[in-house]
Amino acid sequence: MNSNFEFLQDKFPILYQIGTLAEKYLYSDANSCLIKLGMMGETIVNMMLKLDGIDPPNIENTHANRIRVLKKEGLIPKNIDDILYALRVTRNDAIHQNFEDVEKCKTLIEMAHTLSVWFMQTYGEWDFNSVSFVLPSEENDDYHSIIKEKEQLIQELTHKIESIPAQSVSGNARRQQANKAASFINLSERETRYIIDEQLRQVGWEADTDNLKYSKGTRPQKGKNIAIAEWPTDSKISSRGYADYALFVGEKIVAIIEAKKAIVDIPSVLDVQAKDYAQCVREEHTPYIVSKWHVYQVPFIFATNGRKYLEQYKEKSGIWFLDLRDESNIAKPLRGWVSPQGILEWLEKDIEAANNDLMNTSKDLLTDKEGLNLRDYQVKAIGAVEDAIMKDAKTALLSMATGTGKTRTILGMIYRFLKSGRFRRILFLVDRTALGEQAQDVFKEVKLEAVMTLDEIYNIKNLEDKDIDPETKIQIATVQSLVKRIMYNTGETMPSVSDYDLIIVDEAHRGYILDKEAGEDELLYRNQDDFVSKYRTVIEYFDAVKVALTATPALHTSEIFGKPVFEYSYRRAVVEGYLIDHDAPHNLTTKLSDEGIIYEKGDVVPVYDPATGEITNSAELEDELKFDVEQFNRRVITPNFNRTVLEEIANDINPTGRGKTLIYAVDDNHADMIVNILREIYEPFDISNNAIVKITGKSGDRKRVMELIRAYKNEQYPNIAVTVDLLTTGIDVPEITTLVFMRRVKSRILYEQMLGRATRLCDKIGKTHFEIYDPVGVYESLQDVSTMKPVVANANATFVDLIKGLETLDTDEKVQNQIDMIVSKIRRKQKRMSERDKEQFEYLSGGKNPLEFIAHIKSLSPNESKNVLLSKQELFYMLNEGGIDARRAVVISDKEDKLLTHTRGYGKGQKPQDYLEEFKAFIIENAEKIEALKLVCTRPADLTRAALKSLRLELDSKGFTETQLNSAWKETTNQYIAADIISFIRSQAVGSDLLGHEERIQRAVTKLKLAHNFSKMELDWLERIEKFLLTETVLSEETFNLGAFRDFGGYTRIDKLFKNKLKDYIIELNQYLYDDGGKVA
């Protein structure tokens, strides 16, 4: 009989020898057979590294770690990974435990054959046709001499692997071919069951289809969690009636699993076979039944074909699950297996009772001033999430502005969910270690109940803890750590989908990459992981409710988590006094930013190569070269522009002061330049170098970076921090009073997150607003950016993607569509080609320039065009790699610069007086239309806090804020007033004097004191009222039932202290407040 591995003999003789030797050992020496099969998997992995020119791991160069390297390169699809895992683990058992099992050998030889076919199609002949596997028959020939000869040959061939040259195939092309070949694999039911055994073992079940089966006497046992294969039932629809697996926790049957071949639609298996088995437990097995649910005697059923879940192939992938305890439940796909502990928790959970407990749990703890002390909007946010969950929502999105206390809101939410029993184990997911440590600090510091913190009440696993146990209630983890555990796992355990029943996602906008839309044609040749973001894979892996929080919801956030159930915007938080407003941005223009950096034809320019660190002179320019401000510090390094604007900005920054400054740079090199320039600027003033530092991921190891962040938050120095992305989101430093944008930002989400670094209140330094310096035109660059712009599907499809896709398409319509995409991409590409690129194009295309080539392709039929394009693959590899990539090189400019203007941007008007005129026009036009505005103009003493808040929101929506009105007034009149919004409105509408807020309050209180003979106790209370009015604008009876006044007993008690005349004094004080010379008062 010929070997199943005959097809490998010419191209990969070592694999042929190992495969045939494993077949020889099959019946005579099962242990050696398993070792050889494991060796085959390891040899294939080693050859892949060599053929693709990929370096093995520098540290712990093990087989498992080499697999991990290839997985990260996208070269090992999931079904190939499963086979490699099975071969590796069984080989380890054979070597270390002398394990042997002929039945396992039979399955693993078939799996090794499947692997070998895939390897041939990926690294040998891309058009190789698969050969069917035939199980070797047992023969009595003496193979000893043959085996000895083959062992010697294998040793010799193994040494030659080191000298294998890399193939000239691009990474993209290889990935596409690897996934194309993997997509044609149809595992047999035997192979599928073997893989399912491994997957079940990884989450805590004892599983072995060959040995742990009913016919071999395996029965449920106390203290064991067993997947018993081929469990008999009294099936009504099948004469055989054996369930592929019955899951037992101890002596109780908890689930049925049906395993099918890869090509089978899975949901239909649940509806027919699995349901039938679940209601047909044999009479002698009734002691194993947990309970009965309608006609069902088993609570849960599963069906799978062993394939990784993919949305586009949902019926033919994943693990489908149905809870039979309620007839209204519908089947759903899971991304992994449930653990025995998870099954028990599912059985014990009573969601309806837990919802009732949650609803009846008091919210007093949330507003306890000695504990969480949450604000009204935070309590409403928690209530909105709870309402959604009690209505059976699987996701809930909270949109809360940066600085409005999302972490404390999360803390309150977690505590209520755990205390009520609504959720048993919560995963708090962050995308950066710094955010996780920040949350850990809050969980350890904030007192909740009985003067205990969350950390003292519940078992919390922190960032460094990788494992969970039944006692774990909260796990803090980064997305990156779970990507490693879920997507790149090479260990013997795997997270179970039931490990968490609630996931709270902080900074949810960070999941930037959506599942890309893909046509069925593309699925044949594109890496499946191209269509599934790692972020979303982690989010959706667990069978849990997902609650997400973000300050900047975008289209992709809503597609994953739904529309927000509660929103609290930055502008609303400013109006309500919980966040700080920014003043009108400082716009700086210089000669270079205005005119651009221009090199004439014939000039020679110095060019810096970031890859090598070398600076060389270019050839003489063939055309004029111009860089505008958007390209500064990206395409062109311009120290003089940076120095010019930083010298101007430095005039307004005190690096020894209490307010801190955050500067956003393009990259680490740019950040270093900014730090050096600022240190030079401040050097004459004896400013410490420690006052100005770079804080990026390259500032040192993780410990050093965290030390810098902590110092920036808690110590005087550094006072000025220069960052790239590390401090753009999630880091809280209330002392930041100045933001400087030295880089263009085109993402609305990122820009708003950057602004959010400075919005927090900071009473200890008297922070009233923050400043924005914008020398690179960030506002301008964001004008055309939609707030909910979707990610373009397949925008990054390369030429090689499209050409390889063309190979798989059959109908003229599909082929023509693909050709149109290729032609369109060539047309776009040719506009950016250098002369050398065009020469390469003509050479590889057979003498045609890009436009001629396009015209030729369009003149042909779809099939003729397809053949031409496929014959020019070298051309498309050149286009794919970009030829000579001029974009990598960076020009160094020494052109002189000087400051032209330093202005501020006000609304639509470019000048402050324009802004004030627009404000005046709005007030006059709407004085009779907006009720609150009418009150301010005619009866300001009757104004309520609610009416004033609505008016502030209306003005805010038109771009009119108290901070910017004061700045515009100062720039126009050279007088700093610090007036409040009511004074500004009355000065424009009724001609009253514009008074500073503090002056107006003090003058009114003084008039009241002079008009009456107050007691010492009353005078002390008037001082408290005066302090209140310095931070508020409206005084009414309602005022005395809020905040500190309420804590002292509220209006009723304070009225007694004023001898029951408080109401009269309030009216009189309001009259003095608005006795401002206006026509109507």
**Using CA atoms, how far apart are residues 534 and 540, in angstroms rounded to an integer?**
10
CA distance 95 to 57: 24
Q: pLDDT band at residue 793, thresholds of 50, 70 and 90?
A: very low
Give the E-state strand segments of 870-1003 in sequence order: 890-892, 899-904
**What is the mean pLDDT of the segment spanning 962-973?**
88
The mean pLDDT of the chain is 85
Q: How many CB atoms lie within 10 A of CB 443?
A: 25
Average pLDDT over residues 768-785: 74
Integer-rounded Cα radius of gyration of the chain: 35
Question: Does the pLDDT of residue 7 top 80, yes or no?
Answer: yes
- pLDDT, one tens digit per residue, over 977-993 is 888 888 898 888 888 88
- Sequence-distant (≥ 6) Cβ neighbours of residue 613 within 8 angstroms: none
Is residue 729 very low, low, confident or very high in pLDDT (cuts 50, 70, 90)?
low
Average pLDDT over residues 699-708: 82
| Residue 945 backbone phi and psi in degrees, to 5 | -60, -40
The amino acid present at 709, given as its one-letter code, is I
Residue 1034 banded pLDDT, cuts 50, 70, 90: confident
Domain with CATH 3.40.50.300 in the chain: 351-575, 586-782
DSSP codes of every residue in 943-969: --HHHHHHHHHHHHHTT--HHHHHHHH
The confidence score (pLDDT) of residue 636 equals 77
Q: What is the DSSP string of 275-340?
A: HHHHT---GGGGGGB---BTTBSSSEEEEE-SPPP-GGGGGGSSEEEEETTSTT---EEESSPPPH
**Looking at the predicted structure, is the pLDDT value of residue 707 above 50?**
yes
Neighbouring CB atoms inside 10 A of 475's CB total: 23
| Interatomic CA distance for residues 2 and 144, integer angstroms | 18
Does position 390 have pLDDT exceeding 90, yes or no? yes
Highest mean pLDDT: which of 117-126, 163-172, 697-706? 117-126
Would the pLDDT of 727 be above 90?
no
696 vs 686: CA distance, rounded Å: 26
Q: Quickly state the pLDDT bin for 627 (edges 50, 70, 90).
A: confident
pLDDT (tens digit, 9 = 90+) per residue, 511-539? 543 333 334 444 444 444 443 467 888 88
Q: What pLDDT score was predicted for residue 787?
A: 31
Better-scored residue on pLDDT, 1034 or 284: 284
How high is the pLDDT of residue 534?
77
Identify which has the larger pLDDT, 801 or 932: 932
pTM: 0.74
Query: Which of 660-664, 896-900, 950-954 is least confident?
Result: 950-954
What is the model's pLDDT at position 988? Answer: 85
Lowest mean pLDDT: which of 411-420, 434-443, 569-578, 651-660? 434-443
| Segment of 177-186, 277-286, 552-561 carrying the highest mean pLDDT | 277-286
- At 616 the pLDDT is 65
Q: What is the pLDDT of residue 34?
A: 96
Highest-confidence segment of 184-188, 425-429, 433-437, 847-851: 425-429
- CA 169, 170, 174, 176 torsion: positive or negative? negative
Q: 375: alpha, beta or left, given left = phi > 0 and alpha = psi -120 to 50?
A: beta
Q: Is residue 1071 predicted with pLDDT exceeding 90?
A: no
Q: Are 39 and 147 in contact (CB under 8 A)?
A: no
**Cβ proximity of 1063 and 1055 under 8 Å:** yes
> Do the Cβ atoms of 26 and 102 come closer than 8 Å?
yes
pLDDT: which is higher, 390 or 150: 390
Question: Per residue in 581-598, pLDDT tens?
Answer: 888 889 899 999 888 888
Q: What is the pLDDT of residue 730?
A: 54
User: CA nearest 817: which of 802, 798, 795?
Assistant: 802
Q: How confident is the model at residue 886 (pLDDT cuts 50, 70, 90)?
A: very low
* Residue 842 φ/ψ, nearest 5 degrees: -65, -40
For the chain, give the percent of residues with pLDDT over 90.
44
36-40, 78-82, 742-746, 761-765: least confident range? 742-746
The answer to whether the beta carbons of residues 302 and 323 sit under 8 Å apart is no
| Cβ-contact 907, 584 below 8 angstroms | no
Query: Coil, helix or strand for 658?
Result: coil
Give tens-digit pLDDT for 291-322: 999 999 999 999 998 777 877 777 778 899 99
Q: 641-655, 685-699, 837-851, 857-871 — which one is most confidently predicted on average?
A: 641-655
Count of CB atoms situated within 10 Å of the CB of 631: 17
265-274, 287-296, 386-395, 888-897 — which is least confidently predicted?
A: 888-897
- The second-level CATH assignment, the architecture, of 189-348 is Alpha-Beta Complex (3.90)
| pLDDT number for residue 641 | 93
The answer to whether residue 387 scores a pLDDT higher than 60 is yes
Residue 880 banded pLDDT, cuts 50, 70, 90: low
Q: Between 818 and 1010, where is the model more confident?
A: 1010
Strands (E), 329-483: 332-334, 395-400, 426-430, 447-449, 452-453, 460-461, 474-478
* Buried/exposed 831-868: b ≥16 CB within 10 Å, e otherwise: eebeeebeebbbebbeeeebeebbeebeeeebeebbeb
CA 376/CA 384 separation, integer angstroms: 12
- Between CA 638 and CA 742 the distance in angstroms is 12
What topology does CATH give the domain 586-782? Rossmann fold (3.40.50)
Render pLDDT for 527-571 as a digit per residue (tens, 0 to 9). Answer: 444 434 678 888 899 999 999 998 877 666 787 898 999 999 888
Q: For 354-376, b where at least 16 C-beta lie within 10 A, e where not — what string?
A: bbeebeebeeebbeeeebbebbe
Token pair recorded at residue 925: 């036009």
Say if residue 274's pLDDT is above 60.
yes
User: What is the structure's pLDDT at 211?
Assistant: 92
CA 512 to chain centre: 6
Q: Name the amino acid, one letter, at 228.
A: I
> Model confidence over 219-261: pLDDT tens digits?
999 999 999 999 999 999 877 789 999 999 999 999 999 998 7
Angle between helices 835-845 and 850-858 (to 10 degrees): 40
Predicted confidence at residue 595, as pLDDT, reads: 87
Structure tokens at 345: 């928790």
**Residue 1081, pLDDT score:** 37
Nearest to 655 by CA among 663, 667, 664: 663
Kind and range of the H or E element at 227?
A: strand 225-232
- The third-level CATH classification (topology) of the domain covering 351-575 is Rossmann fold (3.40.50)
Mean pLDDT calculated for residue range 463-469: 77
Within the chain, which residue ranges are assigned CATH 3.90.1570.30?
A: 189-348
CB 291 within 8 A of CB 281: no
Strands (E), 16-146: none
pLDDT, mean of residues 143-149: 71
